[in-house]
Chains A and B, each alone.
Chain A
Amino acid sequence: MKTFTSNPFYKFIIFPVGQMLAFILGAGTLLSVIIILLAYIFRGSVTNLDLVERTITILPKVLIDGITIGFVYATIALGYTMVYGVLEFINFSHSEIFMVGGVVGVELLRYFDAQGSLATMNEYVVIGMAIVLGMVIAGGLAVTVERIAYKPLRGAPRLVPLISAIGMSFILQDAVRLILGLTTGEFNVILPQFGTFDEFQILTIPGIANAVQIQNKTILLIAVTVMMLVGLNFLVNGTKIGKAIRAVAQDRPTASLMGINVNLIISLTFLIGGALGGAAGVLFALKVTRLDPFVGFFPGLKAFTAAVLGGIGNLTGALLGGLVLGLLESFGASYLGIFTEGAFGAEYKDILAFAILIIILIFRPSGLLGQTVGQKA
């Protein structure tokens, strides 16, 4: 058994992917069972439709939506949790790094569109280019922000860099607003029409009344985030650099006594977190198709919540927290309206999701997977 588990293929591919599947199946099944039970209990009280049948019919779609947004939250949450793991500091400007990634990606597509070459290009190549560019710019920006706004404050009391991060957040929002305003005349950037994703490919799951539709855009989003998460796991647990990151997270002065350049590792942490955030931004933009400079706030706040829910500082926790939060939100958005006959609509999804989160955190204040700073992901 030991030889099998120490096999790198198992350790860096099968194990992390299996972990993701376990989280998805676990959280998805639990929520599905709860919602179906609730549907049975309340089936008499809703008059105009069969509650149980309606619940089950839309369930696959609800699950897919939840998992999709859950992966986006998880990818952003990793940026918060990695920086927290190394510096014990909440980088509140991370939501703006995410936004910048998205805006950069969309601007690249708009540029191709203006050139007239977008229609002739392969859509996956275009998306790949947008993701890479978003990652580079967002990662570079995160490192720059750290150098300018956080590094000089490293010895200061904890609240001071926090305020600096919030300030940086406003500065980035307005900087993007200014740049977009000057170059395009308006603050919204709208994803140009391209490719054939919206001619939805259909994935049919037999045995369910309506065929389940997944846009291949959604499959792409999940595939890219899963690849990034697997890559990050390998980087942190399978490389010398990752070992150094974990050492710095566990004991910074001693890490420097080992010959580790602590400042370089901190920059690298911001680079990785920022790049993940930027990629998430591009993927998010593909999904929502319309961005403005303030679009990072809610996803950022929710990803931060996901990081806390999973246990901040814990990489696996960020993944679990993101998926749980995404699913809760998706269930809330779809079922609140049905169960209350329209009295509470989808707009109350956040109240439901956060109410459940508060309850979880009351019973597990250190998050679902506890606070284990710098542990193996």
Chain B
Amino acid sequence: MAKKILEVNDIHSYYGHIHALKGISLYVEEGEIVSLIGSNGAGKSTTLRTISGLMHPRSGSINLGGTDITHMEPHIIVSNGVGHVPEGRGIFPKLSVRENLDMGAYTINDTPKNSERIEQVFTLFPRLKERVDQYGGTLSGGEQQMLAIGRSLMLNPRILMLDEPSMGLAPVLVELIFDIIKKLNKDGTTILLVEQNAQMALSIAHRGYVLQTGNIVLTDTADKLKKNEMVQKSYLGIE
């Protein structure tokens, strides 16, 4: 059995008085793509935000490769190797593409290594190289998604969390992004993927969790989830 990189244990998170996560437990093993699927407001993004420290759970624990990160600040969690591409991509609109990438490597003070990483990102996304001096805010949606993913790769994360990478993109770009995610995984990156597009998510994932109103209602391998009647009905549009 592969090593568990991330282990989330019965976390409860709140927005003010709203109980958003009602005891989420999940784990991600090294080399896996794990997908969280569910409808709007099910708690998918909140789960990622809680893991990366943008919000803290009231109870429960989060363990990253043996380190308890439950109460750490986000900038510390990042330097422990959690890459988080937030919902809406979080591109700095008034920083250039290169500056955005530099920000991804903010915690690493190794200039030659960072330049090498930037070249790797450009190999992966040649479009970004053409736009290197442009402001992030002037990129198209697809390019912004590429930049957001490229930026989080600057850190060479132990686990990469992607929040709705397909949101607002044309189908052809969605295919492209998912191909990239598959490729990254093949090259050894562990991925936790949040998607509303359950079809796409389950097509590349090894395992999946189904969230409903802050609870995990189902978990299985991706293949079995695809055949599950409830999943087919609610998330895959198959009657």
Contacts and interface: CB of A to CB of B under 8 A. Distances in A.
A247 interface: yes
B99 interface: yes
A343 interface: no
A258 B106 contact: yes
Contact of B94 (A256, A260, A261, A372): A372
Interface string B90-108: 1011110001001110110
A206 interface: no
Interface string B69-112: 00001110011000010100010111100010011101100000
Contacts of A374: 94
B218 interface: no
Interface residues of B, number: 23
B90 A257 contact: yes
A376 B94 contact: yes
B75 A254 contact: no
A259 B78 contact: yes
Contact of B90 (A246, A254, A260, A262): A254
Nearest to B154: A258
A243 B94 CA distance: 11
A53 interface: no
Given A244-B106, A376-B94, A256 B75 contact: yes
Interface string B25-55: 0000000000000000000000000001110
Nearest to A264: B75
B95 A260 contact: no
A112 to B, nearest CB: 42
A251 interface: yes
Nearest to A246: B95
A218 to B, nearest CB: 36
Contact of A259 (B54, B92, B94, B107): B107
Most buried by B among A257, A260, A262, A376: A257
B130 to A, nearest CB: 16
Contacts of A260: 75, 103, 106
Interface string B223-235: 0000000000000
A6 B118 CA distance: 20
B128 interface: no
A269 B74 CA distance: 20
B75 A261 contact: yes
B89 to A, nearest CB: 9
Contacts, number: 65
A250 B89 CA distance: 13
A375 interface: yes
A259 to B, nearest CB: 4
A1 to B, nearest CB: 14
Given A256-B54, A257-B54, A247 B92 contact: yes
Contacts of B107: 258-259
B226 to A, nearest CB: 31
Contact of B103 (A253, A258, A261, A262): A258
A253 B86 contact: yes
B155 interface: yes
A262 B95 contact: no
Contacts of A243: 95, 99, 102-103
Nearest to B55: A253
A12 B52 CA distance: 37
A375 B107 CA distance: 23
Nearest to B108: A259
A253 B54 contact: yes
A259 B106 contact: yes
A261 B95 CA distance: 18
Given A247-B95, A250-B94, A375-B94, A257 B102 contact: no
Interface string A339-377: 000000000000000000000000000000000101110
A73 B45 CA distance: 45
Nearest to A376: B94
A259 B93 contact: no
Contact of A262 (B75, B92, B102, B104): B75
B83 to A, nearest CB: 8
Interface in A235-283: 240, 243-244, 246-247, 250-251, 253-262
A259 B75 contact: yes
A256 B99 contact: no
A246 B94 contact: yes
7 contacts: A240-B102, A247-B95, A257-B74, A257-B78, A258-B78, A259-B79, A260-B103
The 6 A-B pairs of least Cβ separation, nearest first, read A254-B90, A259-B107, A259-B78, A256-B74, A258-B103, A250-B92
Interface of B: 52-54, 73-75, 78-79, 84, 86, 90, 92-95, 99, 102-104, 106-107, 151, 155
Given A257-B78, A258-B151, 7 more contacts: A246-B95, A250-B94, A253-B90, A256-B78, A258-B106, A258-B107, A260-B106
